[in-house]
């Protein structure tokens, strides 16, 4: 109905019949046949394609959150566009679509390749997908920071505009949808058998690994083509199958059809509503804003939480613990380098006493801010991984940093000045709002921690959409926002440094009181309830939120440090809660401090945000660790 209204705004309904014969008769006819109709078609096609992709990925991986984003497709496509734009512009002569499709496909192949050795275990695939996503995102962000003019092209693609100027993209997507859709429809019955579990399905004669590989490849191909054609349409792939399940499509073979229908419906309705409102809002951002709250709602209604992955054993890299003296010496050496060694106009040199008075006031707050933000995030990550029993949990998944980011975006829209005080205030308010949301949804004793992560995912999606909106407005401050989001110590003041170090001290004082809970909570809700540790969950969560809010306030909502810090501590043989916490604080802090140092010096006088350097060096390391473990 809405569609009819919109279409008749372009061309009166009485003339529709003539449109096919006299396409060139009038300008209105042209807008009708070459812009309005293809846009209608592509909204339906893209929604259906993403719905099917999500349904198949979720079934094959047995994870209700799998979709084109989870497996790294969107991030891979964005990276391919950014890399082609700055390194090989000739590739873009082919158009954005093939480049983005290839990037999405390559990212998925990388994920598959890495998960090959684990026999395509669903959990391993999702974890690899997450890490590859983060890595691609970090690389794309670095290119955008260094080449500001690339930013607007990339942002426009990420926003997911459905505007069309001809039929070519819709016809291509239709062909892909028919091809992949038909093949997947043939596989829907064996896929449905995966509900019985891998062992049972194998016993029934289903070649589980082959089936999984084939359906994943098909789904990824379809998703990659769709992402390449329309950019990012946030969370449609998560939304459609989950809503289909809630509406009663419990069997996979009917869920796939319903997911296609619901996906098409969501994108089409959103797109038509935007057109009816006359707004220039990108459809991708709007679907993200719409589907994110639905996700939270769906998470609340889900009866049984997703299966809880257990902490995988990480083999210690070191046979015995490092002697404390050596640790102290290395830490001090790092601190000395970060403070006094670097590149200037004349090349690499130690800071001379003569220059120290001019340079150090700029440098020491940045060094300390990086050190304390790294410590805070690593401690938050360690506690979160213990509470959720999920080795891949990371504080940015809680949505605290996304909340802070949203606060900053709001400040940028409302106040052109973007003053330091407004920035801190916006970030603080945003973090507090996210904290309140988290408390409302997941902080009750015994509530599944996955629910918190879902809220975080939803908030992060909303942040992405809001950021993209700002980036497409031609605002020169966009580059500033981009750097801040990636984790930059650039704006650090002495007050920030002291605040950060104070937070670290506070956590180190309070944490020992939480140790008993941290030791028991990883065992899961029933065991924790038995010994009364479940009461500690809200307290631990509050500490996690405080630590990540503090780190975000001083250095931005960066990812990764909270993920890797605890793992590095475990890999150095620190397993019991207190040693692991201290180890995580020290390694997280040192890693971010040195990353910040490298970011300040490698491309001098240009600066790469420290959070970005940490991700770029650490994520491949993490992938290698995961690969080695199998």
Partner 1 sequence: MSSPGRRSLLLAAAGLPLVAAAPDRPLEQRIVATDWAATESLLALGVTPLATVDVASYREWLPSLPLPDSVLDLGSRAEPNMELLAGLRPERILISNWQRALLGQFGAIAPVEVVTILGSGPSPLDNARAALRRIGVLMNRDARAKQCIEALETVLAPPAITARPLYIGVLHENGRQLFAYGRGSWVQEILDQLGLRNALARPTSAFGNALLDIAHLIESPEALLLYLDQGERTRRAERALRQSSLWQGLPLVRAGRARSISPFYALGGVPSALYCATLLRRALADG
User: Footprint of partner 1 on this chain (CB under 8 A)?
Assistant: 23-24, 27-28, 30-31, 34-36, 89, 92-93, 95-96, 145-146, 148-149, 153, 156-157, 161, 163-168, 280, 344-345, 355, 358-359, 361-363, 416-420, 423, 472-477, 479-480, 482-483, 488, 490-491, 493, 604-607
Cβ atoms within 10 A of the Cβ of 247, count?
11
Q: Which of 147, 194, 180, 207 is nearest to 53 (CA)?
A: 180
Q: Which two tokens stand for residue 53?
A: 């992709």
Cβ-based nearer residue to partner 1, 88 or 204: 88
Cβ-based nearer residue to partner 1, 23 or 318: 23
- What is the 3-class SS of 40-94, one letter each residue? HHHHHHHHHHHHHHHHHHHHHHCCCCCCCCCCCHHHHHHHHHHHHHHHCHHHHHH
Cβ-based nearer residue to partner 1, 304 or 357: 357
Cβ-based nearer residue to partner 1, 404 or 533: 404
Helix, coil or strand: residue 85: helix
Cβ-based nearer residue to partner 1, 477 or 630: 477
Beta-strand relationship, 341-344 and 347-350: antiparallel
Cβ-based nearer residue to partner 1, 495 or 513: 495
Q: Can you point out the beta strands (E) in 264-412?
A: 341-344, 347-350
Q: What DSSP character marks residue 574? A: -
Q: State the nearest-atom distance from the C-beta of 147 to partner 1, in Å.
A: 8
Cβ-based nearer residue to partner 1, 413 or 440: 413
Q: Which of 546, 374, 292, 530 is nearest to 443 (CA)?
A: 546
Cβ-based nearer residue to partner 1, 270 or 390: 270
Cβ-based nearer residue to partner 1, 166 or 530: 166
Q: State the nearest-atom distance from the C-beta of 417 to partner 1, in Å.
A: 5
Q: State the nearest-atom distance from the C-beta of 531 to partner 1, in Å.
A: 50
Q: State the nearest-atom distance from the C-beta of 362 to partner 1, in Å.
A: 5
| Cβ pair 561, 611 in contact under 8 A | yes
Q: What is the largest CA-CA distance in the chain?
A: 86
Cβ-based nearer residue to partner 1, 165 or 250: 165
Distances (CA, A) of 96 to 132, 193, 335: 21, 39, 45
For residues 426 and 557, give the distance between their C-alpha atoms in angstroms, rounded to a whole number: 13
Q: State the nearest-atom distance from the C-beta of 54 to partner 1, in Å.
A: 25
Q: State the nearest-atom distance from the C-beta of 477 to partner 1, in Å.
A: 5
Q: What is the phi/psi pair of residue 348, to 5°? A: -70, 135
| Cβ pair 445, 451 in contact under 8 A | no
Q: State the nearest-atom distance from the C-beta of 150 to partner 1, in Å.
A: 10
Which residues does residue 341 pair with via DSSP β-bridges, in sequence order?
Answer: 350
What is the Cα gyration radius of the chain? 25
Q: Which two tokens stand for residue 342?
A: 């670097």
Cβ-based nearer residue to partner 1, 166 or 532: 166
Look at the block and give the residue holding tokens 């309705």.
269
Note the helical H segments in 62-187.
73-87, 96-115, 122-146, 148-159, 168-186
Which of left, alpha, beta for 359 (phi over 0: left; psi -120 to 50: alpha)? alpha
Q: State the nearest-atom distance from the C-beta of 145 to partner 1, in Å.
A: 7
Cβ-based nearer residue to partner 1, 522 or 609: 609
Q: State the nearest-atom distance from the C-beta of 428 to partner 1, in Å.
A: 16
Which residues does residue 350 pair with via DSSP β-bridges, in sequence order?
Answer: 341
Q: Can you point out the beta strands (E) in 527-587?
A: none
For residues 206 and 215, give the distance between their C-alpha atoms in angstroms, rounded to a whole number: 13
Calculate the CA dihedral of residues 213, 217, 220, 226 and round it to 10 degrees: -150
Q: What DSSP character marks residue 296? A: H
Which residues does residue 343 pair with via DSSP β-bridges, in sequence order?
Answer: 348
Q: State the nearest-atom distance from the C-beta of 11 to partner 1, in Å.
A: 11
Which residues does residue 344 pair with via DSSP β-bridges, in sequence order?
Answer: 347
Cβ-based nearer residue to partner 1, 308 or 343: 343
Element (H, E) at 388: helix 353-388
Q: State the nearest-atom distance from the C-beta of 106 to partner 1, in Å.
A: 21
261, burial (CB in 10 Å: exposed 0-12, middle 13-18, buried 19+): middle
Q: State the nearest-atom distance from the C-beta of 470 to partner 1, in Å.
A: 10
Q: State the nearest-atom distance from the C-beta of 559 to partner 1, in Å.
A: 20
């Amino acid at each position: 109905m809405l569609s009819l209204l919109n279409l008749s705004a372009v061309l009166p309904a009485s003339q529709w019949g003539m449109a096919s014969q006299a396409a060139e008769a009038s300008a209105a006819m042209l807008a009708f046949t070459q812009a309005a109709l293809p846009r209608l078609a592509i909204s339906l096609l893209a929604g259906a394609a993403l719905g099917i992709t999500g349904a198949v990925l979720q079934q094959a991986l047995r994870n209700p959150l799998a979709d084109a984003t989870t497996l790294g497709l969107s991030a891979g496509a964005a990276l391919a566009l950014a890399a082609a734009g700055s390194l090989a512009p000739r590739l873009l002569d082919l158009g954005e679509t093939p480049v983005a499709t290839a990037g999405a496909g390559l990212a998925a192949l990388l994920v598959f390749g890495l998960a090959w050795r684990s026999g395509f275990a669903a959990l391993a695939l999702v974890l690899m997908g997450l890490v590859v996503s983060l890595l691609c995102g970090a690389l794309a962000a670095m290119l955008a920071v260094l080449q500001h003019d690339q930013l607007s092209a990339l942002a426009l693609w990420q926003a997911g505009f459905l505007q069309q100027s001809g039929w070519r993209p819709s016809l291509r997507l239709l062909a892909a949808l028919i091809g992949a859709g038909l093949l997947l429809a043939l596989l829907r019955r064996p896929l449905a058998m995966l509900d019985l579990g891998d062992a049972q399905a194998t016993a029934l004669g289903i070649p589980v690994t082959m089936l999984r590989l084939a359906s994943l490849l098909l789904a990824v191909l379809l998703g990659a083509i769709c992402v390449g054609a329309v950019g990012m349409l946030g969370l449609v792939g998560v939304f459609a199958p989950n809503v289909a399940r809630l509406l009663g499509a419990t069997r996979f073979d009917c869920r796939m059809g319903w997911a296609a229908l619901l996906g098409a419906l969501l994108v089409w309705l959103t797109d038509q509503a935007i057109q009816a409102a006359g707004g220039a809002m990108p459809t991708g951002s709007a679907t993200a804003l719409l589907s994110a709250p639905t996700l939270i709602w769906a998470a609340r209604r889900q009866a049984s939480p997703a299966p809880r992955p257990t902490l995988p054993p990480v083999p210690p890299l070191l046979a015995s613990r490092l002697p404390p003296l050596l640790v102290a010496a290395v830490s001090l050496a790092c601190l000395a380098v970060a403070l006094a060694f670097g590149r200037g106009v004349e090349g690499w040199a130690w800071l001379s006493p003569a220059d120290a008075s001019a340079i150090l006031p700029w440098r020491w707050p940045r060094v300390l801010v990086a050190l304390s933000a790294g410590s805070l995030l690593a401690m938050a990550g360690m506690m979160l991984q213990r509470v959720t029993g999920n080795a891949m949990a990371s504080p940015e998944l809680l949505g605290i940093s996304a909340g802070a980011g949203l606060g900053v975006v709001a400040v940028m829209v409302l106040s052109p000045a973007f003053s330091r005080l407004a920035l801190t205030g916006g970030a603080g308010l945003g973090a507090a709002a996210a904290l309140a949301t988290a408390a409302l949804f997941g902080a009750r004793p015994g509530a599944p921690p996955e629910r918190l992560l879902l809220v975080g995912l939803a908030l992060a999606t909303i942040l992405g959409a809001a950021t993209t909106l700002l980036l497409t407005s031609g605002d020169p401050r966009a580059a500033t926002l981009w750097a801040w989001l990636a984790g930059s110590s650039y704006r650090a003041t002495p007050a920030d440094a002291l605040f950060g170090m104070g937070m670290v001290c506070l956590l180190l004082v309070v944490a020992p009181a939480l140790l008993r809970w941290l030791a028991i909570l990883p065992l899961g809700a029933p065991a924790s309830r038995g010994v009364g540790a479940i009461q500690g969950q809200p307290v631990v969560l509050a500490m996690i939120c405080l630590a990540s809010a503090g780190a975000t306030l001083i250095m931005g909502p960066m990812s990764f440090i909270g993920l890797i810090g605890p793992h590095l501590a475990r890999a150095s043989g620190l397993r019991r809660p207190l040693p692991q916490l201290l180890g995580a604080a020290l390694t997280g802090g040192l890693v971010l401090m040195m990353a910040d140092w490298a970011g300040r010096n490698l491309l001098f006088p240009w600066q790469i945000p420290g959070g970005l350097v940490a991700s770029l060096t650490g994520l491949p390391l993490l992938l290698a660790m995961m690969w080695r473990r199998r």
